[in-house]
Amino acid sequence: MGVFHELPCAACHASGWVSADTGEALPPEVLVTQLGLLLNIYQQRLIASGEALRKAWGTDRNYQEGNRLGAGGTNYTGD
């Protein structure tokens, strides 16, 4: 820790990832592989959550529920 800000740790390549067995920093080759795998997992979760949101908030929702945006407070679908 610096006086006014956090300083990156040079021992772990500023990643915070260390070996569970030894407590030493992971070599850059292993670190890149592990971070890539983690990124793939998060991207798959993001895609899955996006599909769930699209199903919940899809275009058919405009026709199922009234949004009171039309003339006289009627349903407006933009068609």
Per-residue pLDDT of the chain (79 residues; tens, 9 = 90+): 557 777 777 777 778 888 888 888 888 898 899 999 999 999 998 888 877 766 666 666 656 666 667 777 776 667 6
Query: Which tokens in the block code for residue 67?
Result: 């949004």
pLDDT score for 41 = 94
* Number of residues in the chain: 79
| Residue 39: predicted pLDDT | 93
Determine the pLDDT at residue 7.
Answer: 72
Please tell me whether residue 55 adopts helix, strand or coil conformation. Answer: helix
What's 5's DSSP letter?
S
| pLDDT for the residue 51 | 74
Domain boundaries, the chain: 27-57
* CA 77/CA 48 separation, integer angstroms: 27
